[in-house]
A and B are shown apart, each in its own frame.
Chain A
Amino acid sequence: MTKLLLLGDEAIAQAAIDAGLSGMYAYPGTPSTEIMEYIQSSNEASVRNIHREWSSNEKTAMEAALGMSYAGKRAMVAMKHVGLNVASDCFINSAITGVNGGMVVVSADDPSMHSSQNEQDSRFYGKFAMVPCFEPSNQQEAYDMIFDAFEASEKYKIPVLLRITTRLAHSRSSVILKRTIPEKKLCLPEDPLQYILLPAIARKKYKTLLATYEAIKFDIRISKYNSFKDGRKRDLGIIACGIAYNYLLENIEDIVDDIPILKISSYPFHKDLIKDIAHRCKEILILEEGYPVVEEGIRGILDDGINIYGRLDGTVPRDGELNPAIVAKALGLPVNCGRDIPALVKMRPPSFCKGCGHADMFTSLAEAVKPFGAGRVFSDIGCYTLGAMPPYNAISSCVDMGASITMAIGAADAGLFPSIAVIGDSTFTHSGMTGMLDAVIKNSPITILISDNSTTGMTGGQKSQATGRIEQICKGIGVESEHLKIIIPLHKNHDENVRIMREEFEYKGVSVIISSRECIQTAKRRKSSETSND
């Protein structure tokens, strides 16, 4: 019996390796990043030569996974919750094409927005696409579910979603491994029309999907993760989904025999599960991490025979992640808080690392923009979003990956001149290139500043697809050479850099400035590995 101490992310990765994975696809994003990183550093994965390269974005990753599955092999794709928005076109249509080799989609949600723009709940996507969705409550369950997910995926020819949240992704616990399964052989789909979603075919496939979505409720691989446990008392019954089950047990370990509990860890589930507990109890409390997905399904509009408590009536806060204290309050139990935080304790928000090239770039940008007035720098997502913080206060937007360039286009269309975009190198190849093409084609009077640190910094320094290619890409898209400038963001170049920026801001067409200096974190790591290899 092998037992490993693994993060939730790592348990998922190890499970996929053990379950015969042939291809792992991903774009980094907290809290999902460690899934791919684990597979990239796994010895077994390298011996078996499992495909494990980062993709340019979540959509390209999911499409590659679908292609691997088309060819009969097991594929997994992982992303953070907002990545599933980017990949959703493929995701929803892949439910209709169905799969051949097993395909598992991992989406890591970030309630309370520790490192994200929003706290959307991926379970909605499961329902939207009509695919099975697993929601593990702990690391071992996450590991075990991957095996069932691949099997269910192959049996019903459907992609399977695994939804986790930050606390599970980044919490370590011991996990017992199963016997490994060999990889599948190359094998094309039996039906040559399966993946051709022409309307006539898609209509048929959609009917199949509707029937499958009903059938899977009864499949043991999926339904076994939902369980009902009766209690001696019948006043309050509790429905706990995914990780919420842990916070519940933490609070009621001593009185667990008293309370009827329905644990939900997979979707869709049969409605009798809910009826059973509801018929036994006078009141129901619903605990779920994320949106009130189950609660909304249960709360009737016309019938109100039973009291239902949850996020919608304020028993549990409507937003933010759960924790033991929130669940204790919902249960009416006392919370014995320690001392208050002393008033002198100051906030310590994230900040640029000492010596970061983005910081020098923003110092120059702030000065270059001054004569034109504030409110004209559209930015994007990455370490450079910290340009929003004092002393820089240099940016006016950060919405979704790639939106800097395209929002600058729209603002320029409205008459804002100059209109400036600031985007990182990895974000540029993720979703910035298409926007740049729009700008070039209509000759938008905008300046695009690509802050290139040769890595995907925010998520811990993964390889950036843009490295060494940005200049060529810009030229290929059609940016004029005279308005493609490269600067090095160092204090000694400040005056020169301000001058170049101002010159390009004044230009009434597309200009691009690549501000290029290696991330100091990756530089440090590179240097220390170079010396230790000597």
Chain B
Amino acid sequence: MKNDIILSGVGGQGILSIASVIGLAAVENNIFLKQAEVHGMSQRGGDVQSHLRLSDKNIYSDLIPLGKADLIISMEPMESLRYLPWLSKSGWLVTNSNPFVNINGYPPVDEIIAEINKIKNHIIIDADTIAKEAGSSRSGNIVILGAASPFINIPFASLEDAVRKLFGRKGEEIVELNLKALKAGRNFSAQ
């Protein structure tokens, strides 16, 4: 088993929480894991990405080779396209549909969507609205994780456990909201 995942977004959008959930679940399942994060300068509103590698064997490189990623999970539509050189021909792209506009000349959203539609396996999800409906506008990242979960080689129940663990110290209410967000994302993809 090998599962190479690129997480992308803009600094501050919470991609590291997605990585933490997958990481906790991977450890529970005794899966080898390497996860390269971006810290520092670009966290100030710049583009950020994380390479997350899961395998049943020892993993060497912290970075995913070009053309080998099985999945891109993106908090932002334009950012999802930045990592296409890494996506394998059979890979999936799961992205939020809501743009984060903090630069001049941000491209028209319909043109971005048209580019995403060129990828055979993709899911575009309005994570912000679904998160709001699930009761927590700040759980968009967990909604997207839910939507991407069918393409991650980890049992869904383990991801749920990891959400419980990660948000546990913030109280039961926050845990429940995030579990709801995770399921709402999962249901969206199942449709």
Let me know if A344 and B63 touch, CB within 8 A. no
A458 to B102, CA, bound (A): 19
Interface residue A393 (Cβ < 8 Å from any Cβ of B): no
* Proximity bits, A328-368, B CB within 8 Å = 1, else 0: 10000001111111101111111111000000000000000
Closest to A29 in B: B40
Let me know if A171 and B35 touch, CB within 8 A. yes
Partner among B23, B32, B39 whose Cβ is within 8 Å of the Cβ of A34: B39
Partner among A167, A253, A350, A459 whose Cβ is within 8 Å of the Cβ of B36: A167
* Proximity bits, A1-43, B CB within 8 Å = 1, else 0: 0010101000000000000000000000011011000000000
Within 8 A of A (CB), among B26-62: 27, 32-47, 59-62
Let me know if B60 and A250 touch, CB within 8 A. yes
User: Which of A224-232, A241-249, A473-481 lies at the interface with chain B?
Assistant: A241-249
Interface residue B66 (Cβ < 8 Å from any Cβ of A): yes
For residue A167, give the distance in angstroms from its CB to the closest CB of chain B. Answer: 5
Interface residue B173 (Cβ < 8 Å from any Cβ of A): no
Question: B103 contacts which chain A residues (CB < 8 A)?
Answer: 346-349, 351
For residue A52, give the distance in angstroms from its CB to the closest CB of chain B. Answer: 20
Tell me whether A171 and B36 are in contact in the complex, defined as CB-CB below 8 angstroms, given that A5-B23, A346-B105, A346-B107 are known contacts: yes
Let me know if B34 and A342 touch, CB within 8 A. no
Let me know if A172 and B33 touch, CB within 8 A. yes
Q: DSSP class of A's interface residues: helix, strand, loop or mixed?
A: loop
Question: B175 contacts which chain A residues (CB < 8 A)?
Answer: none
Question: Which B residues fall within an 8 A CB radius of A?
Answer: 10-11, 23-24, 27, 32-47, 59-69, 78-79, 81-82, 84-89, 91, 102-103, 105-107, 111-112, 115, 119
Let me know if B62 and A338 touch, CB within 8 A. no
Let me know if B67 and A337 touch, CB within 8 A. yes
Tell me whether A172 and B67 are in contact in the complex, defined as CB-CB below 8 angstroms, given that A114-B40, A247-B60, A383-B44 are known contacts: no
Q: Name the residue among B27, B43, B106 with the largest chain A CB count within 10 angstroms.
A: B43
Let me know if A336 and B67 touch, CB within 8 A. yes
Tell me whether A31 and B40 are in contact in the complex, defined as CB-CB below 8 angstroms, given that A324-B66, A335-B67, A351-B45 are known contacts: yes
Interface residue A375 (Cβ < 8 Å from any Cβ of B): no
The 9 closest A-B pairs by CB, nearest first: A115-B40, A30-B40, A250-B61, A324-B65, A350-B46, A171-B62, A115-B41, A336-B67, A350-B44
Tell me whether A336 and B39 are in contact in the complex, defined as CB-CB below 8 angstroms, given that A250-B61, A350-B11, A383-B44 are known contacts: no
Tell me whether A33 and B84 are in contact in the complex, defined as CB-CB below 8 angstroms, given that A174-B27, A337-B66, A338-B67 are known contacts: no
Interface residue A431 (Cβ < 8 Å from any Cβ of B): no
Partner among B44, B62, B69, B115 whose Cβ is within 8 Å of the Cβ of A353: B44
Let me know if B84 and A5 touch, CB within 8 A. no
Question: A31 contacts which chain B residues (CB < 8 A)?
Answer: 39-40
A172 to B39, CA, bound (A): 13
Let me know if B66 and A338 touch, CB within 8 A. yes
Let me know if A460 and B61 touch, CB within 8 A. no
Let me know if B39 and A170 touch, CB within 8 A. yes
Closest to A336 in B: B67
A352 to B11, CA, bound (A): 12
Let me know if B65 and A325 touch, CB within 8 A. yes
Give the number of residues in A that approach B within 8 Å (Cβ atoms): 51
Within 8 A of B (CB), among A428-464: 458-460
Interface residue A323 (Cβ < 8 Å from any Cβ of B): yes
Tell me whether A170 and B38 are in contact in the complex, defined as CB-CB below 8 angstroms, given that A5-B27, A335-B66 are known contacts: yes
A338 to B67, CA, bound (A): 4
Question: A353 contacts which chain B residues (CB < 8 A)?
Answer: 44-45
Tell me whether A33 and B85 are in contact in the complex, defined as CB-CB below 8 angstroms, given that A324-B63, A346-B105, A352-B44 are known contacts: no
Interface residue A212 (Cβ < 8 Å from any Cβ of B): no
Q: Could you list 6 examples of A-B contacts with CB < 8 Å?
A: A170-B38, A172-B23, A323-B63, A325-B65, A346-B103, A460-B39
For residue B86, give the distance in angstroms from its CB to the closest CB of chain A. Answer: 6
A325 to B59, CA, bound (A): 16
- Knowing that A30-B41, A172-B35, A348-B78 touch, tell me 6 more A-B residue pairs with CB under 8 angstroms: A34-B39, A171-B36, A171-B37, A338-B87, A340-B84, A348-B103
A458 to B59, CA, bound (A): 32
Partner among B34, B41, B107 whose Cβ is within 8 Å of the Cβ of A458: B41
Let me know if A386 and B44 touch, CB within 8 A. yes
Let me know if A342 and B115 touch, CB within 8 A. yes
Interface residue A470 (Cβ < 8 Å from any Cβ of B): no
Closest to A339 in B: B84
Interface residue A173 (Cβ < 8 Å from any Cβ of B): yes
Let me know if A350 and B33 touch, CB within 8 A. no
Question: A172 contacts which chain B residues (CB < 8 A)?
Answer: 23, 33-37
Let me know if A174 and B33 touch, CB within 8 A. yes
Partner among B39, B47, B62 whose Cβ is within 8 Å of the Cβ of A30: B39
A253 to B89, CA, bound (A): 22
Interface residue A222 (Cβ < 8 Å from any Cβ of B): no
A245 to B61, CA, bound (A): 9
Tell me whether A338 and B89 are in contact in the complex, defined as CB-CB below 8 angstroms, given that A250-B60, A345-B78, A351-B45 are known contacts: yes
Closest to A348 in B: B47
